[in-house]
Amino acid sequence: MPSPHVPHRRRNRPPLSSLIAVFALLLAVTAPSEAQFVGNYCSSAGPTADNNDPAQPTAEFHMARLKYADASGRIRGGWRPWWAIDWPEAECHLTRGLKRLTRLDVADDSFHVQATDERLFDFPWLFAQQVGHWYLSQAEADQLREYLLRGGFLIVDDFHGSYEWEIFADSIFRTLPGRAIIDIPESDPLLHILYDLDQRTQIPGRRHLYRAPSGEIVAELPGGPPRWRGIYDDDGRLMVAINYNMDMGDAWEHADDPVYPEPMTALAYRFGINYIVYAMTH
């Protein structure tokens, strides 16, 4: 099976994994309503978020996380830079969820890649968090555009309000100039490719949860209602899925947190699995 991490893959090949992996994904065996996990196996993987650089693939599917500079033009080092928010716990829970809910062979952690890295083209599915703080240079924007137009799929997550939207939009419109951002229609295959995603429950960050006087856990997010938006290519394929005013990464990260509402975690797993199936089939 072609590897998602072949370092010297020719650039004229689209960044799509084997359809065998797709068939494995479609053989989901469990509903994600039971996707809360118990245990502390998703603890810190090390002192820095720059510590994974596998030379060879270890599984059929490897998640990729986008490394980027912040809006000041600097790539923060150390532990938990903006691009690494929720890592490694989000990956730990999501990959275990994929193993539990599908028959896909999944690597345990994400691969961290900058947009100018040639290895970007080895991954069909790219995850970017806190894009209300990102900055893409023109070189990064140009290569990310090539990745997306050749079949790559980008998920952006965990940004809120008009200020962070403007920062996100500045880089994404330089990446895909002239492309409109629209609300993903209910009929889009993304929302039905495996799970029918007809719920629009806002998926909050753990920091946005509060206990009401009634004792119920409620979410109060600063940016307004959630919006599932996207950018499409000329053939109607979704290239960029935009989770605006929500924090799906936190729902994965806190899947074993009894305070975090289980329905929101379950919905986040459904979206994550649909995103991956879509990326590997479109």
pLDDT at 33 exceeding the cut of 90: no
- What tokens were used for 257? 């947190």
Residue 43, domain member (yes or no): no
Backbone region of residue 158 per phi and psi (left: phi > 0; alpha: psi in -120 to 50; beta: other values): left
pLDDT at 195 exceeding the cut of 70: yes
What lies within 8 Å, CB to CB, of 188 at 6+ separation is 230, 238
Q: State the DSSP code for 118.
A: G
Q: 241: domain range?
A: 19-27+58-281
The overall average pLDDT reported for the chain is 78
Residue 251, domain member (yes or no): yes
Residue 105, domain member (yes or no): yes
What lies within 8 Å, CB to CB, of 108 at 6+ separation is 91, 92, 95
Among residues of the chain, what percentage have pLDDT more than 90? 42
Report the pLDDT averaged over residues 154-173.
Answer: 95
Residue 50, domain member (yes or no): no
Q: What is the CA radius of gyration of the chain?
A: 18
Report the pLDDT averaged over residues 80-99.
Answer: 86
Encode pLDDT of 35-57 as tens digits. Answer: 333 334 454 444 344 545 555 66
The count of domains in the chain is: 1
With 0-12 CB in 10 A as exposed, 13-18 as middle and 19+ as buried, what is 241? buried
Residue 109, domain member (yes or no): yes
pLDDT at 26 exceeding the cut of 80: no
204 pLDDT tier (thresholds 50, 70, 90): confident
CATH number of the domain at 236, please: 3.40.50.12140
Residue 271, domain member (yes or no): yes
SS3 content of the chain, % helix, strand, coil (to 5): 30, 15, 50
Rounded-to-integer distance, Cα 248 and Cα 226, Å = 11
Residue 42, domain member (yes or no): no
Strand partners, 157: 129
Residue 100, domain member (yes or no): yes
What lies within 8 Å, CB to CB, of 187 at 6+ separation is none
Rounded-to-integer distance, Cα 75 and Cα 20, Å = 37
The values of phi and psi at residue 206, to 5°, are: -60, -35
CB–CB of 2/72 below 8 Å? no
- What tokens were used for 17? 């994994």
Report the pLDDT averaged over residues 154-179.
Answer: 96
